Amino acid sequence: MTEQQPAPENPEGDEPIKQRKNGLYPAVSDELAENMKSGWADTELRDLRPIAQAPDTARRRAGLSARFPGERLVIPAGNLKTRSNDTEYSFRASTEYVYLTGDQTQDGVLVLEPTNAPEGQSAHEATLYLLPRSDRENGEFWLDGMGELWVGRRHSLSEAEQLYGMPCKDVRELADALREATGPVRGVRGHDAGIEAALTDKVTAERDEELRVFISEQRLVKDAFEIAELQKAVDSTVRGFEDVVKVLDKAEATSERYIEGTFFLRARVEGNDIGYGSICAAGPHATTLHWVRNDGPVRSGELLLLDAGVETHTLYTADVTRTLPINGTYTDLQRKIYDAVYEAQEAGIAAVKPGAKYRDFHDAAQRVLAERLVEWGLVEGPVERVLELGLQRRWTLHGTGHMLGLDVHDCAVARTETYVDGVLEPGMVLTVEPGLYFQADDVSVPEEYRGIGVRIEDDILVTEDGNRNLSDGLPRTSADVEAWMANLKG
């Protein structure tokens, strides 16, 4: 990448131009400044079509409006975060903002302004506050580090209005306007410190949390657009898993990083990114639930637990896990453990249907795992006692699934009564992902078990009459996994 060079006239020659002082840009000659103002074509885009999800985002805003009548609602996208010095982490807009606008622009803010509309009509007017195109008159576009010449062309406000179906205004005027505004207001916290500072005296943590919780619960049931996006995410993820199988020999010659990089390539080429740090856990690393260092060896005879998901351009992510024999064939013990996890997953998936309790699929999967652990003599029965005391959890470790959507652990602030203690409805998408993990230093199990970790994770849509496995493009039984790997390795 290129470092921003100061203009020769800048007396502080080693200071990047982007650090502008007192609102002034560094000195450049009058001739150059004048020259840079003109000679640029009009690139305004006209007759843009609205984004595909514009009707959906409008419906979601209407739901939000109905829940908080008479209150100003402020939902920021968030700002860039510094990685080091003048470089930033890649930007990912807040989930709340993306859900309600379809936009992903840094520094954007959605404001729902209460109106005095007659009964039955929309009680808010939505406005999207965005950074407009760079000013060519004052040199901002080439002298400012956030100028379009450095970071790329932005949409003009009128272009954004056509895309997102809302009036758009200059976000640089928003903080002052919020400071001066009166009346009740709520904001989504944690994304934009500048906007929060402008609201400081007007909001309370409790009321803001109610807004965040409502949006989280709004997202529990997915609409058709969201389901199609999740399917896209899963389909790319399936191809990413196939990519990995094809290069396992290269991973053996290097490290888990080869797997991480291979999957990431697919994510970046077909989607926006990975939806979370890929877990590329070979051998005993499979027993570390969030192994994302991915710097270990990949050895024939051991298992690879790959937990990874592609995030689409609209930010919906898959979350899929397969546990593969690195040389293509499970050992007898690996297969025994794998088949138990498969059986548990089957029981879990069967419990996913409308009207079922959210906890049912977890309980169904845990029961199967407890039965096997008792059968293998690893824990003393009866199974009912094991389940009652939760003794199986030494090896099952985690919950059997979670909601999936814009966030990998979606709807995370939904209330217990609507999520964990809730009932499944058509349109919900969740993972079913039982596992068994025998830590390398677990001397309570026979030595041959130690260092084996198995998880199988699929993305399941609740349908009107049961469920649909969005990730059935990948094999799940041990025999099918082996056949699939043999076929890919050719």
Contacts to Mn ion by CB under 5 A? 319, 431
144 or 457, CB closer to Mn ion?
457
Q: Minimum Å distance from CB 404 to Mn ion?
A: 7
97 or 437, CB closer to Mn ion?
437
3-state secondary structure the chain: CCCCCCCCCCCCCCCCCCCCECCECCCCCHHHHHHHHCCCCCCCCCCCCCCCCHHHHHHHHHHHHHHCCCCEEEEECCCCCEEECCEECCCCCCHHHHHHHCCCCCCCEEEEEECCCCCCCCCEEEEEEECCCCCCCCCHHHHCCCCHHHHCCCCCHHHHHHHHCCCEEEHHHHHHHHHHCCCCEEECCCCCHHHHHHHHHHCCHHHHHHHHHHHHHHCCCCCHHHHHHHHHHHHHHHHHHHHHHHCHHHHHHCCHHHHHHHHHHHHHHHCCEECCCCEEEEHHHHHCCCCCCCCCCCCCCCEEEEEECEECCCCCECCEEEEEECCCCCCHHHHHHHHHHHHHHHHHHHCCCCCCEHHHHHHHHHHHHHHHHHHCCCCCCCHHHHHHHCCCHHHHCCCCCCECCCCCCCCCCCCCCCCCCCECCCCCEEEECCEEEECCCCCCCCHHHCCEEEECEEEEEEECCEEEECCCCCCCCHHHHHHHHHHHHC
431 or 471, CB closer to Mn ion?
431
Whole-number Å distance between alpha carbons of 254 and 240:
19
Q: Do 74 and 195 meet the contact criterion of CB atoms below 8 Å apart? A: yes
72 or 402, CB closer to Mn ion?
402
Q: Do 118 and 128 meet the contact criterion of CB atoms below 8 Å apart? A: no
36 or 289, CB closer to Mn ion?
289
Q: Minimum Å distance from CB 402 to Mn ion?
A: 6
Q: Minimum Å distance from CB 431 to Mn ion?
A: 4
Q: Minimum Å distance from CB 332 to Mn ion?
A: 28
- In the chain, what is the greatest distance between 2 CA atoms, to the nearest angstrom? 88
Whole-number Å distance between alpha carbons of 384 and 92:
45
Q: How far is CA 86 from CA 1, 4, 157, in A?
A: 12, 10, 27
Q: Minimum Å distance from CB 344 to Mn ion?
A: 15
229 or 319, CB closer to Mn ion?
319
Q: Minimum Å distance from CB 412 to Mn ion?
A: 12
Residue reference for tokens 């677990």 = 442
303 or 403, CB closer to Mn ion?
403
208 or 433, CB closer to Mn ion?
433
Q: Minimum Å distance from CB 454 to Mn ion?
A: 15
Query: In one letter, which amino acid is 118?
Result: P
Reading across the β-sheet that carries 72-76, which strands appear in turn? 168-170, 124-130, 109-114, 72-76, 185-187
334 or 431, CB closer to Mn ion?
431
Q: Minimum Å distance from CB 433 to Mn ion?
A: 5
Beta bridge partners of 403: 430
Q: Minimum Å distance from CB 321 to Mn ion?
A: 7
Which residue number places its CB atom closest to Mn ion?
Answer: 319
Query: In one letter, which amino acid is 107?
Result: D
Q: Minimum Å distance from CB 313 to Mn ion?
A: 21
Q: Minimum Å distance from CB 233 to Mn ion?
A: 13
Q: Minimum Å distance from CB 319 to Mn ion?
A: 4
103 or 307, CB closer to Mn ion?
307
Q: Minimum Å distance from CB 220 to Mn ion?
A: 17
